[in-house]
Chains A and B, each alone.
Chain A
């Protein structure tokens, strides 16, 4: 009976995959050099420093402490609502950038003569990790205070650090002092 169920599931997965495959539209003109853009190179885009400054400001505890000291419940609610929307926007933007990096990488590597499958899988893991981090932070921002996301992110970082020690680092270790800080 289990085998019967398993085979039906396999057939259903194939059916779903084929429908998805048929519905998916072909991308922009393939093989065009212009499509393989370097990430962050779009004219008019915010720079990494701008984005980091924005992230810093959104998740800052300083603003939150200041509002709390004011002792006005309505001001506090207004602040939380505003921060929640901004944090969600910033995290969505981060997720979009992660997907763009992945798409650009895949477009480039499909022409590679010496594609390393293991490196591709490691990169896929890293991509999944970062996307999951964004999604979880987004959820944390929506259900709790906007500043709560940082606890979750730190937990993720610690977890990834443990994984990195166990299986070799996916990314090079970044010392805390190298993390950009736009506020003292």
Chain B
């Protein structure tokens, strides 16, 4: 009964999110985000059908959908990067470097595992593989959040909601998949509820965040008003200013 409530609740929330997105035309602002939700909506219905009428194929269908979901989820992060940092080339460059570093580390880890005789990806099961991919997503989210906070990038209600919802879902997925891979099938009954429920919580966050239209000021920062200064000049200015303070501290120390 609880499984049915979580399942149908999720489909209803998904439907509401898509409906509102089409109504407010946010679909054109976040095309990948809404594509992801169209995919999840179709996937939920498809899995429901497979579960009831072709149960032997359910596991295969579920894992296939999971991995397509992980891939589309990663594209959501790229969309957040595009929307949030599109007007800020300097920050976007820093974010690209950080994301590049995260993916390079993930590839390096896989290659090191491979050189020690492990399979191509150091995962024994589908769950472990998905957990590893989700961990990479965690670091990618952390990199985007760190850059946005450090450079005081205006976040706005929608971006905050999208990142918070997806971040929560990814964090809970990582925990759930880790427990699953360690505790095995004894954890299975718990799993039936945890993952769909965490996704429903993320859906609630998305529906609430994307229900209300955002203020125009948050959408179009007055970037044109700012002269694009050469970065080396900015670094020099900051160094000069810090040098002044350092002189003060050093001077105080020399009395």
List chain A positions with a Cβ less than 8 A from chain B: 3-4, 7-8, 10-11, 13-15, 17-18, 20-22, 24, 26-27, 29-33, 36, 38-40, 48, 51-52, 55-56, 58-62, 90, 94, 97-98, 101-117, 119-120, 123, 126-127, 130, 133-134, 137, 149-154, 157, 171-172, 174, 176, 178-181, 183
Contact = CB atoms under 8 A, between A and B. Distances in A.
Contacts, number: 230
A172 B243 contact: yes
Contacts of B247: 52, 174, 178-180
A114 B230 CA distance: 7
Contacts of A27: 152, 154
Contact of B221 (A30, A58, A60): A30
Across the A-B interface, the 3 shortest Cβ-Cβ residue pairs: A153-B253, A31-B222, A112-B90
Which of B91, B163, B246 has most chain A Cβ within 10 Å?
Answer: B246
A15 B171 contact: yes
B231 A14 contact: no
Contacts of B150: 106
Nearest to B254: A179
A111 B225 contact: no
Given A21-B145, A111-B226, A112-B230, 17 more contacts: A7-B174, A10-B138, A11-B171, A11-B175, A21-B164, A30-B152, A31-B226, A38-B237, A39-B241, A52-B248, A56-B252, A107-B151, A112-B234, A130-B242, A174-B250, A178-B247, A179-B247
B104 to A, nearest CB: 14
Contact of A115 (B139, B231, B254): B231
B168 interface: yes
Interface of B: 87-91, 93-94, 97, 131, 135, 138-139, 141-142, 145-146, 148-156, 160, 163-164, 167-168, 170-172, 174-175, 178, 182, 217-218, 221-232, 234-235, 237-239, 241-255
Contacts of A59: 252-253, 255
Contacts of B89: 111-113, 115
Contacts of B164: 18, 21-22
A110 B91 contact: yes
Q: Which of A108, A114, A151, A174 has the most CB of B within 10 A?
A: A108
10 contacts: A4-B182, A22-B164, A26-B152, A38-B237, A39-B237, A40-B244, A106-B150, A109-B231, A111-B228, A120-B94
| From A33, A55, A58, A104, residue with most partner B Cβ within 10 Å | A55
- Which interface residue of A22, A174, A180 has the most chain B CB atoms within 10 A? A22
A113 to B, nearest CB: 5
Contact of B249 (A20, A21, A112, A137): A137
Contacts of B246: 130, 171, 174
Contacts of B248: 48, 51-52, 55, 94
B174 A126 contact: no
Contact of A26 (B218, B222, B228, B242): B218
A95 to B, nearest CB: 9
A109 B152 CA distance: 11
